[in-house]
Amino acid sequence: MKDLFLANRKPILLVFSVLMIGFGYFATQLKFSFSFEQFFPQGDDDLAFFEDFIKDFETDDNFLLIAIENQDGVFDSSFLQDFHSFSLDCRGLPHVVKSQSLTQLKYPLKTPFGLTTIPVIHLDEPNKFDQDKRMILDDERFKDVFLNSDASSAIVSIKNIENIGLEESQELVSALKQLLMAYNFDDHHILGRAYFSNELVEAQLWEIILSTLVSGILLIIVMFWIYRKPMTVLVSLVSITMAMTIFMGLLGLLGRELNVMSALYPVLMLIVGTSDVIHIMTKYIDELKKGLPQKDAIWITIKEIGLATLLTSLTTAIGFMTLLSSRIVPIRDFGLNAAIGVIIAYIVVVLFTTAWLSLLPKERFLREGSTLGFWDNLMNKSYQLTLSRKKVLLLSGLLITILCAWGTTMITTNYKITSNLPKKGKVTEDFLYFEKNYGGFRPMEFAVQTKGDWKADDYEVQLEIEKLENNLRERGVFHSIVSVNMMQKSLERMNGGNRSLNYKFPDSKTRFKKNQRLINKLPDMGNSILMSPDKQKARMSSRVLDIGADNITALGKEVDQWVLNNLDATKVSVRRTGTGILVDKNAKYVRESLVQGLGLALIIISILMGFLFKNTRMLVISLIPNLFPLLFAAALLGFLGIELEAGIAIVFAIIFGIAVDDTIHFLSKFKLAKDKHQDVEKAIYITFLETGKAICLTTVVLFFGFLIMLFSNNPASVNVGLLISITLISAVICDLFLLPILIRRFIKY
């Protein structure tokens, strides 16, 4: 085997060079994908209900809202003319079904000659602007829906095609931005699915480019600081670049699309690949220092580190594969792709890197000025500390464990939309503007199902709907409430001289039926999206502020209880639905899948450990240090107030995979040394000097590798980087100071 490898080193380099070029082409074919449906929990009952619900009604996210600001106020003749022209032009944008604004809307008016209409805003009669403004701000149909409370901005509401895709979103948003540039508005803000899709994907693309560049620079700096040899840096950089190119190219070849978590891939490949490179490089240099010939040194490195690295790669991949238990598609995709990346990094490092190292003169790697001597001294002192301060270390570990257990009780899943929006980005600014001026973005839908022979246009049914609508309005957190009752109340207002106090549900069945006969004669005024064709279902839509998933869930449960206690169950049943509820349910499934996935990973890795060590005590010893970093990470979530949501779930998979990686390297070296010297204490000392040093070096790279994510514009990425960077320190401390104590306690001399 040794001779076969050494004889084929140059062909190996050639094959990998060709692979890099070929996969480099496919890497350029990668596409991005983004949709809110990706974050719906697959297989959930609420999802099945929602999918059935939208067969009769349109979805709640097929819109774009454009708020146009004017410093002198909306009711300025010149501004209103431009605003009206803009709102009409929006009808011609790609993938737009219709657009509405105050300048297009009209009030119904009853005259002795029949029904007519008057404009909500008299564009050509500025002397009526003050009256128009008072009426609009006194009308709940328009205030905070088409006009904000201080009348400084007005809304153009665009309805786009259902389930608009990324390409269509990009076309629509691009055309909209060009249209806005043609007008000299003071400022504008956009809100909606198509806008989110477009802006978040653009931000993701730049983040991938930036993280790749920063990761490369970081690798150069850290590797040069450690080894002080340009050739060491070059080998590492080329190896990691090759692994990343082949990985991204394979994703392109397989037709896998990049999603919102793709910015982690460059950092991930840097971390996994550099970890493997450092273990290989450190062992190789140590063997060269012993005076061994290059061929022998490289083969010993492959045998000892190659097997350990194979096991660590498998366990790290298993850690990522735990994410496949998630019901959320982007998390599952990340888990699978990351596992593939780990294996690719291993193959490249073990074959390409070692082949290249063995062909280069050893003088290019040996130098007295390297920092490796510093790490040797540090490992020696750490080893002595585990002998002289055993009780102190154990007591400290116990106290920290208790503190961490307390921290986990503070974990919250009160996820907010702003948690995943770019910091200081235009899309975030726009979202917060709508939160402040227009009652929020989070949709909350209510599906009303009639019972027996009752129909949605019956007086008794709509009376129950009105009860629910009034209750929601009284709570003060629901905005833009729209139901099938809207037409009835609009006619009541019309009959009452268009005064706001008359916008109310009819106080008698006689008046209701009279209005209903008129409604039936009118053209469709929006009832088709509020009542099903068979009149068995009705829809009530509303929006709530971004107060957090847990708070909204608690609010929804309060409403559910009120419905049970106050509505007539023989006439109607009411169920909350909508995209907001589905996304918020992620918190529940994140917790469940996290526990299930990590539990399964522990079982699989235990089997691998048992296969490697063939010793039950070693199996137990290996698992204890890997559970503590998970507990530590969970405690950080609690103490730092970071919400546990879909993006944060990957932290635990990464931490688990890396922690197990270091433990396997440590115990593998210990087993080899013990088998060779038949002395536990000597084996521990040798492990400290060789593998302990490599673990520290990889931790340095990993720490700074994840720390660069603090410069991300994405708050979720910042949280991931912060959590993993800090937690990695706890993992290496466990391996260096807890593992030796456990080995001495449970392994016989």
Q: Do 532 and 489 belong together in one domain?
A: yes
The per-residue pLDDT for 120 is 86
Whether residue 619 sits in one domain with residue 713: yes
Is 692 in the same domain as 675?
yes
Q: Per-block average pLDDT, block size 10, for the chain (749 residues)?
A: 78 90 87 68 78 79 88 90 93 91 82 72 88 87 87 91 83 93 92 83 74 74 75 83 89 79 72 79 81 85 80 79 76 85 88 86 65 73 86 88 88 78 83 86 87 90 92 87 87 81 87 84 63 88 83 88 93 88 70 66 69 71 78 86 74 74 80 82 85 80 76 77 84 86 76
Work out the angle at residue 207's Cα, subtended by the Cα atoms of residues 705 and 190, and round it to the nearest 5 degrees: 145
With contact defined as beta carbons under 8 Å apart, do 172 and 80 qualify?
no
What are the DSSP calls for 324-377, one per residue?
A: GG-S-HHHHHHHHHHHHHHHHHHHIIIIIIHHHHHHS-GGGT--TTSTHHHHHH
Count the alpha carbons within 13 Å of 186 in the hemisphere toward its beta carbon: 15
Alpha carbon distance 515, 538 (integer Å): 18
Q: According to the model, what pLDDT value does residue 179 have?
A: 94
Q: Please tell me the total count of domains within the chain.
A: 3
Kindly state whether residues 446 and 397 are assigned to the same domain.
no
**What pLDDT is recorded for position 588?**
65
Assigned domain for 211 exists: no
Phi, psi at 147, each rounded to 5°? -145, 135
pLDDT of residue 482: 87
Q: Has residue 50 been placed in a domain?
A: no
Residue 496 tokens, joined? 């009452």
Whether 433 maps to a domain, the answer reads no
- Interacting residues of 706 by C-beta distance below 8 A, sequence separation 6+: 267, 271, 720, 721, 724, 725, 728
CATH number for the domain spanning 7: value is 1.20.1640.10
Q: How many C-beta atoms lie closer than 10 Å to residue 561's C-beta?
A: 10
Residue 415 has a pLDDT of: 78
Q: Say what the pLDDT of residue 726 is.
A: 84
Are 580 and 619 contained in the same domain?
A: no
Phi, psi of 247 (to 5 degrees): -65, -50
Give residue 562's pLDDT: 94
Pair (25, 119) in one structural domain:
no
The answer to the question of residue 169 being in a domain is yes
- Of 183, 198, 213, the residue at which a domain comes to its end is 198
Q: 106-111 and 114-119 as β-strands: parallel, antiparallel, unpaired?
A: antiparallel
The residue segments making up the domain with residue 516 are 442-545+547-584
At 391, phi and psi to the nearest 5? -65, -40
Same domain as 313, residue 241: yes
Residue reference for tokens 């087993």: 671
Residue 419 domain-assigned?
A: no
Does pTM top 0.75 for this prediction?
yes
Q: Where does a domain end: 159, 178, 198?
A: 198
State the chain's maximal CA–CA distance in angstroms.
109
CA dist., res. 98 & res. 156, Å (int) = 10
436 CB-side CA count, 13 A: 11
Considering the domain architecture, whether residues 592 and 740 belong to the same structural domain is answered as yes
DSSP 91: G
Classified as helix, coil or strand, 302 is: helix
Residue 209 has what pLDDT?
A: 74
Please state, in angstroms and rounded to a whole number, the distance separating the CA atoms of residues 435 and 474.
19
Across 28-52, b (16+ Cβ under 10 Å) vs e yields: eebebbbbbbbbbbeebebbebbee
Where are any strands of DSSP class E within 514-563?
Answer: 537-544
Q: Which residue has the tokens 């526990």?
A: 595
What is the model's pLDDT at position 83?
93
Q: Is the residue at 422 inside a domain? A: no
What is the predicted pLDDT for the residue at 180? 93
pLDDT for res 595: 66
Compute the Cα dihedral for 706, 707, 711, 717 and give only its sign. positive
Are the beta carbons of 16 and 348 closer than 8 angstroms?
yes
Q: Is residue 37 part of a domain?
A: no
Co-location of 575 and 603 in the same domain: no
Instruction: Assess whether 251 and 108 both reside in one domain.
Output: no
Q: In this structure, are 90 and 133 located in the same domain? A: yes
Of 404, 276, 413, nearest to 346 by C-alpha is 276
Same domain for 606 and 536?
Answer: no
